[in-house]
Structure 1
Amino acid sequence: MNKKLLLSGLLIVTVFIFSACKHSSGKIDTESEYIVAAFYWPAYHYEPRAEFLFPDRKGEWEIIYNAVPKEEGHQQPKIPLWGYLNEADPTDMDKKITEAVNYDINTFIFDWYWYDGQPFLESCINDGFLKANNGRMNFYLMWANHDATTYWDVDNPKIDSVIWKGGVDREQFDIVVDRVINHYFKDPSYLKINGEPVFSIYELNTLINGLGGAEQTKKALEHFTEKTKEAGFPGLHLQSILWQALPNTIEGVPGDTIKSQDEVLSYFGFKSLTNYCWAHLQNPDGDYEVWGDASTEMWDQFHNDFSMTYFPNVTVGWDANPRFLFKAGYINNSTPQKFKRYLLKAKSHVDHYNIEPKIITINAWNEWSEGSYLEPDTIWEYQYLDAVKNVFGTIDKR
């Protein structure tokens, strides 16, 4: 791989929120009672602000087709069956939407960014998805508010530097609120639960630090809710991602007795949560089933520990080595058949606890640079999508 800046800070993104058809004003063309929501990483198009990272002007596709094996038997590069599509082109995005809906993926969760007073990687949504969708899928935003960092020193690759800070002050927060409400919440396909637009926040710690503390963050989120109501909605459905960026205590709040993650989320007004990927729960290194069993065995604890709704997540795999000059740990022995077993487990979890809406999140639709994608590659072709349709729909004769 060429010795160049690799965008690694833009790899962990998350959080999701979805709703059953009866709770949503979006149009989902499916007979399934389940909301199958796949995270979407919008980095596979030309982004002018990232040209210094990806001079070929193809976004992160550049590190995918330049990837090399880090050891014998390491399966790199990954090769997309559809070729290197431009997701900001509505024609290319139309293919993604069509195939997603055909295979019972009925919601995209777009990672959404705001750096240095302006959006980042937004063309995928604005120029691609919104122009091609025509009400076929629901979508919502997860504010991926982490720092954007680079790993660039081949001799000392664990030293990273910040390109853009993910935290925002109150002035920038209010700008984000207005943009999200006016550009996205008002779209008929934007996912809503009980009429409330769903908005996910990836790093609560980063939000708190940027806004200056817990009290200031609570006031900012209350302002967000009020602005959403002023726009004609009954409220705002906040969802959090469950991992180490979710604090388990809040210091400095008058009369503070908050000593658990559940109390933290309740304090700020969150209504649901989920995981972004299993890499946030268990070390992503080794056998897929060992990793998957350990991660999914945590679901019952999450259900019991939180007063708000927990939606289970199923992860396709993990191998972020295309982003690094050094060898990082990765998951091996993953197959569509094994993936299907965890989809069935997620469906059973939702049914057992009578979770409504019946949401299952998947990492991911297209995390090619993290080795976790449903889009067909030249090895498995459509088999991962077939697994989804086998569990949540009716498989077509191919």
Structure 2
Amino acid sequence: MTNKTRTIAFYLPQFHPIPENDLWWGKGFTEWTNTAKAKPLYLGHSQPNIPSDLGFYDLRVADIRIAQAEMARSFGIEGFCYYHYWFAGKRLLERPLNEVLSSGEPDYPFCLCWANQTWTGIWHGEPNRVLIEQTYPSLDDHKNHFYELLKAFSDSRYITVDNKPLFIIYCPTDLPDCLGVTDYWRELALKSGLNGLFLVGVSHFQKWDPHQYGLDAVIDQRLPFKDKNIPNNYWSLKAQSMLGKKLPTIYDYKDIINQLVRIEMPGFESYPCVIPRWDNTPRSGSNGLVFEGVTLELFQKQLERALTRIENLPESRKFVFLKAWNEWAEGNYLEPDLKTGTLFLKKIKEILHPFSEN
């Protein structure tokens, strides 16, 4: 085991109201809205999930952002990867990052992931309702986007790889002429005094070589499909499903550990993405996906598989990504709740950073 692992947690900024969400979902809507009103959909379904130490926070409050960073650091997490939204010049949910940049607090490393997806009404069971479309109108838009990102790239806290800012594209295969765009961004980076960019794409089961898209590596995020699966050992739920009860897709955690984190490195650089738990029924109801049977022992196996995956990578690129720090309405979080407290965070420190002084 090594304490050199670079552990990065994805971070959702949707914990403050914005005018767009007020318009689409009602005044005051945040990620907590769906989280708090969640109900169990079947016997033994663990909902709602209630935060403990940090409470139902508002990311407009600087003390919350500082407390999150201090907590993450104390358990060996190197930094946050903030989801970043850019829709042809329009940003959404940008306030937390803007205040991190302008205030210099928290003094904690971070990077950005461009979540380049169209927003729909899927959170409220309206998947065909388009709220804001992800478009790529012109080279000028990519130029403007780069210079917006440069404010973060130039920050001393920004996470780098071999002195190059780390930037993640969530759906690179959706980006027209991704190779041309990434070449252009690297050119702009050099002209701006940076040493280049270290660009990473997220792979969702597809197997593609990052270099064909102008990327340096991929993050292997392997959520199972929503196919209305019910494990055979959950016989009572299977019977309910056969009788017509609408249930979410359910997977037994132990059955998908090997799928979530592959040990084998493909023929290119690929980083594991460890998923502690998952239940997005607060957003999607019976169209959601649930991991049942989650235990700390099984989570440990995922972490150990991730370590094996990266053991031969150079120290500067020994990345393990965690999905996620705070995606509460997807039941996908590491922040403490009333049921498990900091147990998942303690397991991360125990397995990934056993010699850490924090």
TM-score, reference length from structure 1:
0.77
Does the 8 Å CA contact 2:324/2:332 hold for their aligned counterparts?
Answer: yes
Q: Distance in 2 between matches of 1:112 and 1:280?
A: 25
Aligned to 1:105: 77
Matched, 1:391 2:351: yes
Corresponding residue for 1:293?
258
Q: Does residue 1:230 correspond to 2:191, yes or no?
A: yes
C-alpha deviations, 1:282-302, integer Å up to 9, x for none? 987311121112332x341xx
* TM-fit CA distance, 1:393: 3.1
1:213-252 aligned within 5 A: 214=177, 217-243=178-204
2:146 corresponds in structure 1 to 177
Aligned to 2:245: none
Q: What is the Cα deviation at residue 43 of structure 1?
A: 0.8
Q: Residues 103-182 of structure 1: matches in 2 within 5 Å?
A: 103-115=75-87, 117-128=89-100, 131=103, 133-135=105-107, 137-151=108-122, 157=125, 159-170=127-138, 171-181=140-150
Whether the aligned pair in 2 keeps the contact of 1:311 and 1:359 (CA below 8 Å) is yes
State the distance in 2 between where 1:58 and 1:152 align: 12
Q: Please say if 1:79 is aligned against 2:50.
A: yes
Percent identity of paired positions between Structure 1 and Structure 2: 23
Q: Is 2:219 the counterpart of 1:274?
A: yes
Alignment of 1:1-398 (within 5 A): 32-57=3-28, 59-81=30-52, 82-115=54-87, 117-128=89-100, 131=103, 133-135=105-107, 137-151=108-122, 157=125, 159-170=127-138, 171-181=140-150, 183-208=151-176, 214=177, 217-243=178-204, 261-262=208-209, 265-276=210-221, 278-279=223-224, 285-296=250-261, 298-300=262-264, 303-306=265-268, 309-352=269-312, 356-394=316-354
State the SS of the aligned residue for 1:274.
strand
Q: Which moved more, 1:384-393 or 1:93-102?
A: 384-393
How many residues were matched structurally?
Answer: 334
- Per-residue CA deviation, residues 324-374 of structure 1 (Å, 9 max, x unaligned), is 243423111112232122112212322255665221111110111111111
- Say whether the 8 Å CA contact 1:110–1:140 is kept in structure 2: yes
Structure 2 vs 1, CA of residues 339 and 333 (structure 1 numbering), >3 Å: closer, same or farther? same
CA distance in 1, matches of 2:255, 2:18: 38
Question: Cα distance 1:192–1:128, how it changes in 2: closer, same or farther (>3 A)?
Answer: closer
Alignment CA distance shift 1:41-1:33 (3 Å): same
Residues 373 and 279 of structure 1, relative CA distance in 2, 3 Å threshold: farther
- Structure 1 unaligned residues grouped into runs of 5+: 1-30, 209-213, 249-260
- The answer to whether the 8 Å contact 1:88/1:125 transfers is no
Aligned partners of 2:158 and 2:80: how far apart in 1?
10
Q: Give the whole-Å Cα distance in 1 for the aligned partners of 2:226 and 2:202.
A: 12
Paired amino acid for 1:219: G
SS of the residue aligned with 1:278? coil
Paired residues of 2:260 and 2:275 also in contact (CA < 8 A): no
Deviations 1:192-251 (A, max 9, x none): 11111111111123211xxxxx3xx4333222111111111121111111125x6x7xxx
Amino acid paired to 1:111: Y
Q: Which residue identity is paired with 1:363?
A: K
Cα distance change on mapping 1:120 and 1:37 into 2, 3 Å: same
Equivalent residue, structure 1, for 2:235 = none
Structure 1 equivalent of residue 241 of structure 2: none
Give the Cα–Cα distance (whole angstroms) in 2 for the partners of residues 351 and 240 of structure 1.
21
Q: Matched residues in 1 for 2:123 and 2:191: separation? A: 46
Structure 1 residues 227 and 304 mapped into 2: Cα distance closer, same or farther (>3 Å)?
A: same
State the alpha-carbon separation in 1 of the partners of residues 186 and 321 from structure 2: 24
Contact kept in structure 2, 1:239 and 1:270, CA below 8 Å: yes
SS of the equivalent of 1:377 reads coil
Q: What residue ranges of structure 2 are gaps of 5+ in the alignment?
A: 230-248
Aligned-residue CA RMSD (Å): 2.7
Could you state the TM-score of these two structures normalised by the residue count of structure 2?
0.85
Counterparts of 2:204 and 2:285, CA distance in 1: 26
Change (3 A) 1:293 1:281: farther
Q: Report the CA distance between 1:172 and its aligned residue.
A: 2.0
Q: Answer with 122-131 or 61-70: which moved more.
A: 122-131
Equivalent residues of 1:54, 1:60 under 8 A apart: no
- What is the CA–CA distance in structure 1 between the aligned matches of 2:312 and 2:323, rounded to whole Å? 22
Instruction: Give the residue type in structure 1 aligned to 2:267.
Output: D
